[in-house]
Structure formats: C-alpha cells, structure tokens
C-alpha cells in the first residue's frame, strides 16, 4: 500500500529540525532510518501531515569517544554501530545486540536513535541501553537536556522525548574489559524477540564484581533485573550460581501474552535465557 499524503522537510541542522518540528505542530513525525516508520505509514497505521527527515544532518551519524563515554549519534545506522571499533571495544554488548536486529538490509538503514525513540518493548536495543545506563541527549527549543535510560523509557512506545524535541545522541559509559552476551529467542529469522536477555559482567579472578542484566519484551518498557544482578555480584561465575541467580529474572516483570507466547512461557524464557546469557558471557 502507499502512504497517505504528507509534506516532506529535510533540514540541514538540528536547530533547523527543531524549528521545523515546532512549526509543523503535533501532527509531525521524525524520520530517522525509517525501518519502523515506513512500514507503519504503508499500512496507514499512522498518517502524519509532515515528515521531518534527519538524513540531511551528517553529524548525527558520528560515533566518538568523549572522556569516559562513547557518544553515538542518533542517526548512526545499526550496520555502523555493530562494526565500530570504539563500540566493539568499550560497549561490546551493544554491538552484539545490534547484530541480532532484523536483517542486513534493515541494519543498513535502521538507526540506533530511531530504534530507541520508537521504544517498541520487543526491540533489542532498549534493554541494552537500560542495562548499560546510557544517557539520552535530547534537543528542543529550550536547549539540550540529558535523560537517563531509567527515565527515558516511559511506557509502551512512549519515551521522555517531549513535543518539539529530538533525540540527537546516546552516550554509553565505557565497559572496557567486561564480558557480555545478548541472548535472543524468536520464532523465525528476522522476527522480533519473544524474549531476550542482555548481560554484561565484570569478572575479577573468577568472581563477578559487577553485573548488568536487561530484559527485552517482559513488560511495556525494557526492564532491568536487579534481583539477578544482586544474586550474581560477589559470587564465583559457576553454572550453579548463575542458574540460581536466573531464578530472579521475572521479579518485577509484567510479561505480555500474544500470538507468539503466553506470559508464563515468556517468564520461563526469561529465566532460561538469563542463564544462557550470563554463562555465555563468562565463557
């Protein structure tokens, strides 16, 4: 099907984009990589009157080192993120999860910022951003503000990005030397995660000194699994410890039931995948 009619604006700077967004009013939509938006427009599930394409702002694609953080432009395509040397060295979990997103064609176009701003709870990158305590840089008419991942994800497809605001950058603390793994369970190739677990751990002399666990599609937003993290820290990274810790994976979750999986099956998956994610990470 063909999308409904819309006006198209391609600003050359973030300031211009914010002005265009304010001028267009609440019926405007930001176009990042378009790999979620275009299908939605085609199915006419959305019919914005104005599309503001961020594709004409090259600086939004940059990936750079900024002190103790890796700063990734919101328009950096998945394909670039998963292969970038800074990302693979300092934020390996993000590279690992990004490599599982959709398929090569979608990863060429889809962007980190677009995926996070879309905030589909079945999307793979929210759990990673949350677990790794990323910061979100948001620009609007009143300037720039930074929001923590914990505050960014508000609800189903809803984030802290306000009216007239644009997500411009996502900043990840460095996790240099940590081990990590993203364990995803889906029905077919390129399908959304029924459930997935993001795990990053710091292991010193066989003992887990820090742990970050994020859950995909176990609620209306990405979730952390603090019970699992607490059960892992200070323990030896053995299979027995990991399996016991994984039993805490569903604490505080509200798994959805849909055509792919009932809530209790997702809860089972969360426990099993947590075990696999941590054990694979610690190798």
List residues binding other proteins (CB under 8 A): 1-8, 10, 31, 34-35, 38-39, 41-43, 51, 53, 55, 79, 102-106, 108-109, 189-190
CB of 39 to other proteins, least distance (A): 5
Q: Cα–Cα distance between 63 and 51 in angstroms, integer?
A: 25
Phi, psi of 275 (to 5 degrees): -60, -45
CB of 103 to other proteins, least distance (A): 3
- Return the number of the residue (49 or 235) whose C-beta is nearest other proteins: 49
Structure tokens at 116: 């996070």
CB of 55 to other proteins, least distance (A): 6
Strands lying side by side in the sheet with 69-73: 63-66, 69-73, 166-173, 135-140, 143-148
- Return the number of the residue (23 or 68) whose C-beta is nearest other proteins: 23
Give the Cβ contact number of residue 13 at 10 Å: 12
Measuring CA to CA, which residue among 33, 82, 39 is closest to residue 60?
Answer: 33
CA 52-57-60 angle, 5° bins: 105
CB of 34 to other proteins, least distance (A): 6
CB of 193 to other proteins, least distance (A): 15
Q: Cα–Cα distance between 271 and 244 in angstroms, integer?
A: 10
- Return the number of the residue (40 or 244) whose C-beta is nearest other proteins: 40
- Return the number of the residue (38 or 244) whose C-beta is nearest other proteins: 38
- Return the number of the residue (104 or 143) whose C-beta is nearest other proteins: 104
CB of 268 to other proteins, least distance (A): 26
CA 141-24-76 angle, 5° bins: 65
- Return the number of the residue (51 or 237) whose C-beta is nearest other proteins: 51
Structure tokens at 119: 């905030």
CA within 13 Å, CB half, 110:
24
């Amino acid at each position: 099907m063909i999308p409904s009619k819309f006006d198209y604006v391609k600003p050359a700077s973030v300031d211009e984009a914010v002005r265009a967004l304010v001028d267009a009013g609440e019926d405007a939509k930001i176009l990042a990589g378009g790999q979620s938006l275009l299908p939605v427009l085609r199915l006419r599930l959305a019919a914005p009157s104005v599309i503001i394409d961020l594709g004409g702002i090259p600086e939004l694609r940059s990936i750079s080192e900024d002190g103790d953080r890796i700063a990734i432009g919101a328009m950096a395509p998945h394909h670039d993120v998963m292969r970038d040397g800074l990302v693979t060295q300092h934020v390996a979990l993000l590279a690992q999860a990004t490599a599982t997103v959709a398929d090569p064609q979608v990863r060429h176009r889809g962007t980190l910022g677009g995926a996070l701003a879309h905030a589909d709870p079945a999307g793979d990158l929210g759990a990673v951003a949350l677990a790794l305590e990323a910061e979100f840089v948001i620009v609007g008419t009143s300037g720039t503000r930074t929001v923590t991942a914990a505050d960014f994800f508000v609800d189903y497809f809803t984030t802290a990005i306000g009216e007239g605001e644009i997500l411009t950058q996502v900043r990840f603390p460095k996790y240099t030397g940590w081990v990590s793994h993203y364990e995803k369970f889906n029905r077919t190739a390129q399908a959304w995660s029924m459930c997935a677990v993001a795990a990053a751990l710091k292991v010193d002399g066989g003992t887990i000194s820090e742990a970050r666990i994020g859950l995909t599609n176990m609620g209306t937003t990405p979730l952390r699994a603090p019970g699992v993290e607490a059960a892992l820290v200070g323990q030896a990274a053995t299979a027995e410890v990991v399996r016991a810790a994984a039993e805490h994976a569903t604490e505080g979750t509200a798994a959805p039931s849909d055509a792919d999986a009932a809530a209790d099956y997702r809860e089972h998956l969360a426990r099993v995948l947590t075990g696999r994610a941590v054990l694979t990470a610690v190798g």
